[in-house]
Amino acid sequence: MYQLRDIKTTVQQTAEAIAAALKIEVEIADADLVRIAGTGKYSSRCDRAMDDGFVYRHVLRTGKPVIIDNPGFNELCRPCICCGNCLEFAEVALPIRVEEQIVGVIGLVCFDEAQSKRLMDNKESLLKFLDKMAELLVGKIVENDQNRQRELLTNQLLTVLNLLHDGILLVDDRKTVTHFNALGAKMLDIDAEQEMSLSQLLDDKKLWKSIENGEQFSGQIKGRRVAAQLYCDAVPIKKDGNIEGAVITLKDMQQIKKLIKDASVSEIETHFSQIIGNCAKMQELKEMALKVAPSNSTILIQGESGTGKELLARAIHQSSKRKNNTFIALNCGAIPENLLESELFGYEEGAFTGAKRGGKLGKFELAHNGTIFLDEIGDMPLHLQVKLLRVLQERRVERIGSSRSIPVDVRVIAATHRDLDKMVQTGEFREDLYYRLNVIPLNIPPLRERQEDIPILTRFYLDYYCEVTGKKVREFTAQAAEILNRYSWPGNVRELGNVIEYCVTLTVGEYLTAESLPKRIKGEVKPAKGDTSLNLRVMEREAITQALALANSDGHKGDAAKLLGISRATLYRKIKEYNIAETKTFV
């Protein structure tokens, strides 16, 4: 909706210009018959409603100009209280039209015969002149409205940009910063009063090269006015194939690390109270771990698969001075050898074919000021063991493709289910790295060596999975409990938890019976006392089943073959021969 009052100053100046040119008094009213501008005696009546604006009301309604040479006697003057006794000698009223909307009226009023004569003698040229003056007002109204719309849009965009958690810069084709949000100004120390070039704010050589090539840029970048490492995304602005600038978003690297920490740690905080076990070995283990947690010493956790090595590592981190920083876990045996180095130490842009633009942070950098948990360290290739040893000694990392080393403050907790002592003797694991890792050794006993904890663990998992599934299983039957207690649990606590989940899912009713247990649990039958009869096929089948259970937690049948001392092909043939189920029973 266009409004004359939005350009009130211009309207008054226009009225004065018309009056000076024609030597006739002028008043200009808006669509509500409020006098916006006036000259002579009308100048003191601005911003007032016109109670006697009968002629102007007609012009607003019809959209046509009116010339009255007999005021007080014209048909339009009849409603006026001064009808027949008017002080005016002549009057002209012309509409101001913006598109299809009439926004006001320009009025000329003569108060003597000389003014009236000039008006009547030049009616045609006078109307053309007023029409041009109305066009000037219309142009100013439209311009003002467009400026107002642009300002509104700009304010809306700035409001949105200021709500973002990224710094935003808009630059033109000359690299001049034209717009920025509040966070961008704070991150780069931008002087709002001074025209700034992108090169004054950032080390933008690689970034701008990508923009000039019409390509997006993503990667780390240094600030020039502030000593900060930033992660930058830049997208070129194109028009008709030409580069007209770029939109740049900036993230603080420390904020990225905090987000990673929040995602990887906060929701899975682990305390020693969550490590279930009351036997002497577990009590001794927890006491030792609690003592060493506050230090920065490197820890080596050893134990079979499924004993809870990562759970212990997280509890140590949560009890340390680093608990408010990142905990990064990496399974060295689950990542292909050719990718493990880049995962650990990161890489620079162009370091190898397929490397991401801008490079990538390694896990050590992400864990800065926090803890890195290297699970299955025994599976790390020898050439990477050398690089890891150097990181532990120098406390600096060097990305692939870079000659620059980066200082890191990281506590290392390593874990393995393998016998590193034997691996050192056979040359599979570096002796110097072993001693670097084995500063504080912690050994988690297998579940078969702490059978007194089985009832506590089964009760815990029963309650937990009842809550998860919505079941109401109250207790184990005596027979079911006895089977669970005498089973050897090659998969340790992880296997126990998954067995209870299986049972709770299948159980109907309030009691978990022996019939609910998996066949392999019930099928582990020990020879009765005095029974010297041994069936070789039964023993072989049992050995294969147990080896698969041990290896199944990590999904490697090759490990099962190694445990049995046979080839992978022989293992597959035996599985088929004995019809052994290959479905994983636990993770």
Q: Residues 79-91: pLDDT tens digits?
A: 776 676 777 788 8
Rounded to whole angstroms, how far apart are CA atoms 260 and 424? 35
**163-168 long-range Cβ contacts below 8 angstroms, 24+ apart:** 165/255, 166/249, 166/250, 166/251, 167/230, 167/249, 167/250, 167/251, 168/247, 168/248, 168/249, 168/250
More reliable by pLDDT, 12 or 359? 12
**pLDDT greater than 70 at residue 24:** yes
For domain 4-146, give the fold: Beta-Lactamase (3.30.450)
pLDDT for res 138: 93
pLDDT tens-digit readout, 490-543: 999 999 999 999 999 888 888 888 888 888 887 754 444 444 445 676 677 777
pLDDT for res 472: 87
- Please check whether residue 507 is in contact with residue 471, taking contact to mean a CB–CB distance below 8 angstroms: yes
Task: Return the domain boundaries, the chain.
Answer: 4-146, 164-252, 265-445, 467-577
Greatest alpha-carbon span in the chain: 143
Rounded to whole angstroms, how far apart are CA atoms 362 and 341? 9
- % of the chain beyond a pLDDT of 70: 91
**pLDDT greater than 70 at residue 554:** no
User: Domain 467-577 - what CATH class?
Assistant: mainly alpha
**Amino acid at site 135:** E
**pLDDT greater than 90 at residue 415:** yes
Band the pLDDT of 366: cuts 50, 70, 90.
confident
Rounded to whole angstroms, how far apart are CA atoms 513 and 477? 5
Closest C-alpha to 288, from 441, 410, 421 = 441
For residues 251-261, average pLDDT: 69
For residues 120-126, average pLDDT: 86
**Amino acid at site 269:** E
Both structure tokens of 120: 């009547």
Give the bridge partners for 26, in sequence order: 108
Rounded to whole angstroms, how far apart are CA atoms 555 and 559? 9
Instruction: Give domain 164-252's CATH number out of 3.40.50.300, 3.40.350.10, 3.40.50.1820, 3.30.450.20.
Output: 3.30.450.20
Residues 6+ apart with CB under 8 A from 194: none
Both structure tokens of 14: 């226009």
pLDDT for res 358: 64
**pLDDT greater than 50 at residue 585:** no
The Cα-based distances of 318 to 67, 134, 268, 289 in angstroms read 90, 76, 10, 11
DSSP state of 482: H
Model confidence, pTM: 0.53
- Please check whether residue 504 is in contact with residue 462, taking contact to mean a CB–CB distance below 8 angstroms: yes
For residues 173-177, average pLDDT: 91
Band the pLDDT of 544: cuts 50, 70, 90.
confident
Check for a shared fold between 4-146 and 164-252.
Answer: yes
pLDDT tens-digit readout, 38-93: 999 888 889 988 877 788 889 999 999 998 887 767 777 777 766 767 777 888 99
pLDDT for res 533: 40
Q: Report phi then psi at 251, rounded to 5.
A: -125, 140
**pLDDT greater than 50 at residue 371:** yes
For domain 265-445, give the fold: Rossmann fold (3.40.50)
- Please check whether residue 265 is in contact with residue 327, taking contact to mean a CB–CB distance below 8 angstroms: yes
Closest C-alpha to 11, from 28, 31, 32 = 28
Q: Report phi then psi at 264, rounded to 5.
A: -95, -15
